[in-house]
Chains A and B, each alone.
Chain A
Amino acid sequence: MSTNESTFEQSSLGMIANNLTDQERHLINLIRQAGAAAPAELAVKTFMLPEEADQILNDLGQKGLITSQSVESTASPQLVRLTDLGLRIARFELMKKMR
């Protein structure tokens, strides 16, 4: 990747990251750490009720940062994971924290 592309990518990621709420950032970080997780699992990790977490997860899904996939279970028929864009945002946030 050339320097121009890299700078463009960084500023694009920065724009998306700046529009995230703290709760969205927190959930993105949790999904990054877990790789894949059930929405209810993410809710208990943040001491939220599932419907509170679902609202944030819906917003992240609409922003194209997470995707869901089916799994055979009665507890949680879906798992969520970060999309490629979501992963880049998670890494961007991580780098920002480390700086």
Chain B
Amino acid sequence: MFTLDVPHLSTVLPYLLVATIGFVIAIAEIITVFENDAVRALRTGGSVLLIFLNALFAIALLAIVYGVRGEDTANNRMWIALGVGLGFSTLLRTKFTFIKPLPGSNEEGLAVSLDELYDRLQRFCRRQIDQRLATDRVQTVDQAMTELELPILEQRLRLLLEGGLILADPSAATYVDRILTQTSYTESRKKMLLAFALLNYGGFKTLKKVLKNNPVRKR
């Protein structure tokens, strides 16, 4: 039968705590940027990388602190973990200025910009997330072009733009007609534009729902 190994649990718990703090802070950072598409954004590789690295760095720092303090940490491991978890996330987003020359000097002083390094990591992850989300949108439009008939897309988009379901620009009312009356456009191009418009004004879920509720057109 499974028994709880308490000594091991007390060793693991502090690491779990710092990892959770890093995890939650990274998730909060992602959600605040991708409010409208938070769940899909969190599922991308860029998000996973940012969350994983935040948790990993926090665990590594805690291991260093325990290593340096040795036996001293035996009685207050959880408090140290809490301090490292909260302190680490603050340190990572901070610029340390060790030497700041007097005003008028041409020298820049000595500073360690952890915030700049973290900013670069965030930018890299953001690019990965943006790329993934944009590719998903484009591929959903690909699917709509293949599986949906033009009248279905037209009907849904008119309902959205002309039916007052969303607050849109005055030119929204005539936009569907502008696309459909372009004689130089192929049916496929018209479908692409209507699908992009439906995706943009109705959201990702709306286009997915239209795809789900309409029978797949056999080619």
Contact = CB atoms under 8 A, between A and B. Distances in A.
Interface string A23-48: 00000000000111110110111010
A73 interface: yes
Contact of A44 (B127, B129, B135, B193): B193
Kindly name the residue among A38, A47, A71, A72 whose own CB sees the greatest number of chain B CB atoms within 10 A: A47
A75 B145 contact: yes
A35 B133 CA distance: 9
Given A44-B200, A49-B179, A50-B193, A35 B130 contact: yes
B200 A45 contact: yes
Nearest to B141: A75
Contacts, number: 78
A2 interface: yes
B134 A38 contact: yes
Nearest to B130: A35
Number of chain B interface residues as a range: 20 to 34
Contact of A38 (B108, B137, B145, B182): B137
Contacts of A45: 200
Contacts of A73: 135, 138-139, 141-142
Contact of A71 (B127, B135, B178, B193): B135
Number of chain A interface residues as a range: 20 to 34
A79 interface: yes
A66 to B, nearest CB: 13
Contacts of A79: 131, 134-135, 138
A75 B178 contact: no
B22 to A, nearest CB: 24
Interface of B: 106, 108, 126-127, 129-131, 133-135, 137-139, 141-142, 145, 169, 171-172, 175, 178-179, 182, 192-193, 195-197, 199-200
11 contacts: A35-B129, A35-B130, A35-B134, A36-B127, A36-B134, A37-B134, A41-B134, A44-B196, A73-B142, A74-B142, A75-B145
